[in-house]
A and B are shown apart, each in its own frame.
Chain A
Amino acid sequence: MTQGQTPTTQLMAVLPGDDPTTASRARPSSGGTGNLRRVILGALGVVGIAVFWELYKFLGPEKGWAIGTTIILPRTNDMSMPHVWTMFERLFQPLTGAANSKMMWEAVVDASAFSLYVAAVGWIIGVSVGFLLAVLMQRFRTAQSAVLPWVILSQTVPLIAIAPLVRRWGSQIEFGSFVWENWMSVALIASYLAFFPVSIGALQGLNSPETAHVELFRSYGVGWWKTLIRLRIPASIPYLIPALKLAAANAVIGTIVAEVSIGLKGGIGRTVIEFAGAAGGDPGKPWAPIFGAIAIGLIAAGIVSVFALFLRRFMRQETNS
């Protein structure tokens, strides 16, 4: 299973989150201090960005720096780059000034929770469909030839083209007491982006067992189904984990973009657009939902990391060398 490590570590490097090799190294000996160190480093990273922001704002050119009319370095005035504390202060002020208005942070938390929920539904659908497609493609070579090009092509269709179509088709679905709601269209679009890495990663993983192992199973007369459960799926886990993380990132992006696209109310994507107009008069306002979007991304990555820890128990390591 050594060849399994290569794609894992490569993909892991792209994603935020823990590397399996460092995680397994840290776990037996000094799990507590290792985690603490990581938390501190993570917090330092956030503070570092804030310091860099303020430093650039202080030192950078007021009118930015442009080559011709193309601005290379951003302007540092309060409209383009409000102070970090302006953004935070805004979070603790009322949203609209109406008498019963929510606080900004409450509105952002509500919208983030909504979007995270929709993204989670999209992720689960996407992962399920992606994995089933991978199993299908592994089982039937014809299916692989027939489906794989479409799987890849599917990702070249622009989201803004399919989003209104999905909403339209969805609005025509109605059977019994079930009525298709707009948030389901957004979840479906999120799943459309999420299934891709899973189907590709899982297919590669399911095909990863060495020929010798597959032939050993065959020589014992083990059927395809048992070979899948005992050999192929455990072998696919190192490929699957990074794919699941990519799928989570895709689901979050898909949710936010689709919300903007079809105007779904309640989520962080639409909040970003709704607040954008306030950039001049209320520079802190447009940044509040951006914090929410970052939080969703981090939480989604965290949830998948926990899920990955659980999955890793089923991974079979041949050696412990």
Chain B
Amino acid sequence: MKHSTRLMTGVAAFAAVALALTGCSPGGTTDEDVAAPTTDPGTAETTDLTPVTLQLQWFAQAQFGGYYAALDQGYYKDEGLDVTLQEGGADIVPQDALVSGDADYAISWVPKVLGSIQQGANITSVAQIFERSGTLQVSFKDKNLTSAADLKGHTVGSWGYGNEWEIFAGLQQAKVGIDDVTMVTQGFDMLGLLQGDIDAAQAMTYNEYAQVLETINPDTGKLYQPEDLNVIDWNKEGSGMLQDSIWADADKLASDPAYQETTVKFLKASIKGWIYVMNDPQASADIVTAAGSTLGTSHQLWMANEVNKLIWPSTNGIGITDDAAWARTVDIALKTANDTGATILTEAPPATAHTNEYVQKALDELIAEGVDVKGTGYTPIDVVLNEGGN
């Protein structure tokens, strides 16, 4: 009897611990997803807010600065929206989160989504936020790699997972076969380039390129300078593809007037957020850092500034998908084969894959309010990167 009582006490204690642990959440979860600060319950406006979830492509960083600024500045609330920015992760595919109803909108690159659409995902690009591609191939000056044609016979880095198509398209246009280069999968850092394993490494202007410029050059004892590097800009090579775009559920857009209305409001507030970033990159970088990004402060500011360059000045008004750019992206998706011979698309995407209808409405409202949606007067700032981005 003695033993079984003891055992039962043990089981009971164990159960108590279990209850205690499951009952309370670990500290820090409250800021897990950044939601708009709620005002006093009971006021009329909070009860009317429409909940909206935006699935980001990655963690909080200045790449998504416009959405964080819109949240922080209350632009979403002004439109009657209670927006939650859902951060991404290594295995989170934004368009899948959208299709499964886990999010109302998602940020993703067009070439990454086109494949999903062909496989049956019924989603629509409602705003093309980034007009230009931010992808570069970065190499050291002594390699003398300034165009896609120069890559022949060299080791070329890419992250893969749909990030490689601009490279393949650029090579194909320059008549360089995929077998003529050695493709290497890159990690999250730029050590492959810095240590000489990769001749031309893939880099986003706003992130990995800065990582190189935050590193001490052992030859000079100072940070690497842009003069030490050559970059191949896929926009200039003619194989740039459309990147950060806002995607919406096409079925709901077709059938649900409330969702259509929410889409216009969401785009309008998001665009106001991006205009805020254009006007004050420092403040927007601080907003993202306050939202939990752990990037160094000079790196964050660099990212805000470089992202601005991808958006501003905007040819047709921010968010409008340029027909020629869309056609080029689709054309590359149809005609570029990767190392296994596969293409992103085997047939042209349906007409529902993109629309300017909602973003045009949002822009019209903003223009009526006297807002400059093209950023005609935009000039980038000069950002001094510090060692390690700090």
Contacts and interface: CB of A to CB of B under 8 A. Distances in A.
Is this pair of chains taken from one and the same complex? yes
Contact of A80 (B3, B91, B191, B386): B191
A282 B388 contact: yes
Contact of A79 (B87, B88, B195, B387): B195
B161 interface: no
B18 interface: yes
A208 interface: no
Contacts, number: 170
A95 B6 CA distance: 48
Contacts of B18: 124-125, 128
Interface in B298-345: 298, 300
Interface stretch (B37-45, B210-218, B245-253, B370-378): B210-218
Contacts of A273: 59, 90, 188
Nearest to A163: B91
A271 B292 CA distance: 11
B369 to A, nearest CB: 33
Given A97-B386, A277-B208, A280-B212, A265 B87 contact: yes
Contacts of A96: 289, 294-297, 300, 390
Q: Quick one: which of A164, A260, A273, A278 has the most chain B CB within 10 A?
A: A278
Q: Summarize A's interface: helix, strand, loop or mixed.
A: helix
A172 B102 CA distance: 8
A98 interface: yes
Contacts of B207: 277
- Counting chain B CB atoms within 10 Å of each CB, which of A95, A113, A164 scores highest? A164
B7 A229 contact: yes
A275 interface: yes
The size bracket of the interface on A is 35 or more
A215 B336 CA distance: 73
A275 B295 CA distance: 8
A274 B189 contact: no
B21 A276 contact: no
Contact of A183 (B26, B96, B100): B26
A139 interface: no
A275 B294 contact: yes
A281 B59 contact: no
A164 B28 contact: no
Contacts of A317: none
Nearest to A262: B89
A314 B7 contact: yes
Contacts of A229: 4, 7
Contacts of B223: 281
Interface stretch (A42-50, A53-61, A114-122, A149-157): A114-122
B255 interface: no
Interface string B180-218: 000000011111001100000000000110011011100
A278 B25 CA distance: 31
A95 B29 contact: no
Contacts of B384: none
A97 B6 contact: no
A213 interface: no
A181 B32 contact: yes
Given A75-B195, A97-B298, A278-B389, A263 B21 contact: no
A183 B190 contact: no
A305 interface: no
18 contacts: A79-B191, A117-B27, A121-B21, A124-B18, A125-B22, A160-B90, A168-B100, A234-B7, A260-B89, A262-B91, A263-B87, A277-B190, A277-B208, A278-B211, A279-B188, A280-B211, A282-B389, A285-B388
Q: List 6 tightest A-B contacts by C-beta distance, closest first.
A: A263-B89, A282-B388, A281-B214, A97-B390, A117-B26, A279-B189
